[in-house]
């Protein structure tokens, strides 16, 4: 099956530590790369990941806090030095272009490619990217400023033809597309051959949901129902629940509650507060509620769904 | 003797690699920290260095290229999160404030401290910092845009009193400051005691010169004459001399020529082009001309002059 992977470039929160970079990750969906958030150092981490810069054409920024976008200038500038020619699209809540355009005009005067800003509202889901095989939709979150997550979904694929049955019924080639899309076959003699005899269902679509930064927010459960992989912020442990509420962040337990209620297949938690020298406490709190939880860490790569 | 050290935070050039961060360094002069340039990742490297953030009150930016200043936003933002209260002074060629102020206004709204920008012209040396024991003066350089280096100099210190001689001549306390500053002593009997009998000379002042980015420029030799430590950019090896000229950078050999002509005591080269997987070639070319040369590298700490 084609690749669908999540690469963690950075999973710290606002205060960088010697252990974590600011937030950034890359989704590899069938060899197209999509960056989510771009904290300081993202370009260094991207280089370390050995992912191909040239396959990255879209960057999605969740919200306009520095630890989620300060790496943009360096990244854009470096792409220019590397002689990139393909357009680069940056998707974000309103306001990013106004802030960054003057910096780009000054520091990246002779870019060999174009940067396009696409801005969206964050109060309801918006389809912000679509190609032949996938879509990206925003997930409204609740933070101190407008913020949203991102839902990456494969498009349903046509059924697989069972070659032996096609041969057996001598189905003409021009019928094949209809059959892949679910139609039955009618023989020249008028016999109806049910689609289920001619095809096997395609593999189920795979989904990845990114939810950061946000306070505990049950409203997202419906939208992320059953995703193969959920990244949910878990800035704090339970004993800092009041602090989490006050700063519109989540605890590890809250991330796990969301994962359980949404019946996701796997949870990865991140955006760790700098106060945790070791995030084991966060993992324990989350795993107690939702066992299939892993800690994000720099340079971690996780498959989304069944990649075999 | 009091500390005078150079800490390399990053010594790559515009294109970051897995080996080098963008340019940034910190001078520790008697436990006051001064940052020179602030490329992306400088705050992470500063944290790794274990230098105390609170001792850093002045940042000197050599020129307005992204690899020398993109780290400012993250650094300023982090200082705010850490609850800093002391003013932060940023010294740079003209234009930095206009570019960065709107970003700071937006991303660092509730700073607990003030940021002051101080801008200077780069065509002649300007005294841009002075305290009781040291000065910082700009060194006009030649690059594609206005650019200057920085000369850190200790102030001459008063001579050391020779306690035994003071006692012998029963010199009154109120005469001591004059004597430290070089005056002879006249006894009540009218006998003149030469200053050289009463004092030993203070240790010679120590000097550090930072010269990056620049093409080969003999005009700087006079100003950096005899410094204890010279950091000079060495972006390219000799076989890229044409490229160096074209981009207003220096070769390792040119850096060494400057060091030799200026009779500096030690040379450290940096700002390496990403094309060198290994900078040994640069070290060899420089050492052939000026033997006391070292390669900059991340987390290197070098004494300026005799720190014993």
Q: For residue A308, what pLDDT is reported?
A: 47
- The answer to whether residues A120 and A186 belong to one domain is no
Q: For residue B1, what pLDDT is reported?
A: 76
A143 is in an annotated binding site: yes
Mean of all residue pLDDT scores within chain A: 95
**Per-residue confidence at B306, pLDDT binned at 50, 70, 90?**
confident
- The answer to whether residues B134 and B219 belong to one domain is yes
Question: Does residue B308 lie in a domain region?
Answer: no
Question: Does residue B140 lie in a domain region?
Answer: yes
Distance from CA of B253 to the nearest CA of A (A): 25
Question: Does residue B274 lie in a domain region?
Answer: yes
Q: For residue A20, what pLDDT is reported?
A: 95
Q: For residue A16, what pLDDT is reported?
A: 82
Question: Does residue B144 lie in a domain region?
Answer: yes
- The answer to whether residues A55 and A94 belong to one domain is yes
Query: Which tokens belong to B101?
Result: 């102020």
Identify the domain containing residue B108 by its residue range. 4-157+206-303
CATH of residue A96's domain is 3.60.15.10
Give burial (CB, 10 Å; 0-12/13-18/19+) of A231: buried
Which one is predicted more confidently, B26 or A308? Answer: B26
CA distance A95 to B105: 13
Catalytic residues of B: 67
Q: For residue B66, what pLDDT is reported?
A: 96
- The answer to whether residues B147 and B181 belong to one domain is no
- The answer to whether residues A37 and A124 belong to one domain is yes
Q: For residue B46, give Cα distances in angstroms to B7, B132, B275.
A: 9, 26, 26
- The answer to whether residues A29 and A128 belong to one domain is yes
A165: left (phi over 0), alpha (psi -120 to 50) or beta: alpha
Say if residue B6's pLDDT is above 60. Answer: yes
Q: Hey, of A18, A74, A79, A84, which one would you mutate to test binding to chain B, going by the most B CBs within 10 A of its CB?
A: A74
Which value does ipTM take for this structure?
A: 0.90
Residues in chain A: 308
Chain B residue with CA closest to A80: the answer is B15
Q: Hey, of A40, A73, A110, A112, which one would you mutate to test binding to chain B, going by the most B CBs within 10 A of its CB?
A: A40
The count of C-alpha atoms lying within 13 angstroms of the C-alpha of B279, restricted to the half-sphere facing its C-beta, is: 27
pLDDT in tens, B146-190: 999 999 999 998 899 999 999 999 999 999 999 998 999 999 999
Give how many domains chain B has, as a whole number.
2
Distance from CA of B65 to the nearest CA of A (A): 6
Question: Does residue B75 lie in a domain region?
Answer: yes
Contact A16 B78 (CB under 8 A): yes
Q: For residue B308, what pLDDT is reported?
A: 47
Question: Does residue A308 lie in a domain region?
Answer: no
Distance from CA of B256 to the nearest CA of A (A): 28
A97 touches chain B (CB under 8 A): no
Low-confidence ranges of chain A (pLDDT < 70): 307-308
Q: Which of A194, A217, A241 is the last residue of a domain?
A: A194
Question: Does residue B238 lie in a domain region?
Answer: yes
On chain B, the residues whose CB falls within 8 A of the CB of A65 are 107
- The minimal CB distance from A66 to the residues B22, B70, B77 is found for B77
- The answer to whether residues A12 and A120 belong to one domain is yes
Query: Which tokens belong to A101?
Result: 């355009």
- The answer to whether residues B151 and B219 belong to one domain is yes
- The answer to whether residues A139 and A275 belong to one domain is yes
Q: For residue B307, what pLDDT is reported?
A: 54
Q: Is the Cβ–Cβ distance between B148 and B62 less than 8 Å?
A: yes
Q: For residue A151, what pLDDT is reported?
A: 98
pLDDT in tens, A275-303: 999 999 999 999 999 999 999 999 999 99
Helix (H, G, I), strand (E, B) or coil at A149: strand
Q: For residue B284, what pLDDT is reported?
A: 98
**Per-residue confidence at B16, pLDDT binned at 50, 70, 90?**
confident
- The answer to whether residues B54 and B74 belong to one domain is yes
Contact A73 B70 (CB under 8 A): yes
- The answer to whether residues A166 and A153 belong to one domain is no
Catalytic residues of A: 67
- The minimal CB distance from B16 to the residues A14, A47, A66 is found for A47
Say if residue B101's pLDDT is above 90. Answer: yes
CA distance B176 to B180: 6
Say if residue B48's pLDDT is above 60. Answer: yes
Contacts 24+ apart (CB under 8 A), B154-160: B154/B4, B154/B29, B154/B205, B154/B206, B154/B207, B155/B205, B156/B202, B156/B205, B157/B133, B157/B202, B157/B203, B157/B205, B158/B202, B159/B195, B159/B199, B159/B200, B159/B201, B159/B202, B160/B199, B160/B200, B160/B201, B160/B202
On chain B, the residues whose CB falls within 8 A of the CB of A41 are 40-41, 44
- The answer to whether residues A172 and A267 belong to one domain is no
Q: Which of B200, B230, B258 is the last residue of a domain?
A: B200
CA distance A15 to A127: 32
């Amino acid at each position: 099956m084609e690749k669908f992977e999540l690469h963690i470039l950075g999973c710290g929160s606002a205060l960088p530590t010697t252990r974590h970079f600011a937030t950034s990750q890359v989704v590899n969906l069938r060899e197209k790369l999509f960056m989510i958030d771009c904290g300081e150092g993202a370009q260094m981490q991207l280089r370390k990941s050995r992912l191909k810069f040239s396959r990255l054409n879209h960057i999605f920024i969740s919200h306009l806090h520095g630890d989620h976008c300060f790496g943009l200038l360096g990244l854009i500038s470096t792409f220019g030095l590397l002689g990139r020619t393909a357009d680069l699209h940056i998707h974000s809540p309103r306001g990013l272009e106004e802030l960054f355009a003057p910096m780009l005009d000054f520091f990246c005067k002779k870019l060999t490619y174009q940067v396009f800003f696409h801005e969206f509202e964050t109060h309801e889901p918006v389809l912000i990217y679509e190609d032949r095989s996938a879509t990206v939709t925003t997930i409204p979150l609740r933070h101190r400023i407008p913020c949203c997550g991102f839902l990456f979904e494969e498009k349903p694929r046509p059924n697989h033809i069972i070659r032996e049955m096609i041969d057996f019924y001598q189905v003409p080639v021009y019928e094949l597309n209809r059959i892949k899309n679910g139609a039955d076959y009618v023989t020249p003699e008028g016999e109806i051959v049910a689609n289920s005899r001619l095809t096997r269902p395609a593999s189920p679509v795979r989904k990845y949901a990114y939810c950061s930064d946000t306070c505990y927010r049950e409203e997202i459960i419906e939208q992320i129902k059953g995703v193969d992989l959920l990244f949910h912020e878990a800035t704090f442990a339970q004993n800092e629940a009041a602090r989490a509420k006050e700063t519109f962040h989540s605890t590890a337990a809250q991330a796990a509650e969301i994962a359980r209620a949404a019946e996701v297949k796997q949870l990865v938690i991140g955006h760790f507060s700098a106060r945790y020298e070791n995030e084991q406490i966060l993992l324990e709190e989350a795993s107690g509620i939702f066992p299939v939880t892993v800690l994000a860490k720099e340079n971690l790569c996780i498959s989304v769904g069944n990649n075999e």
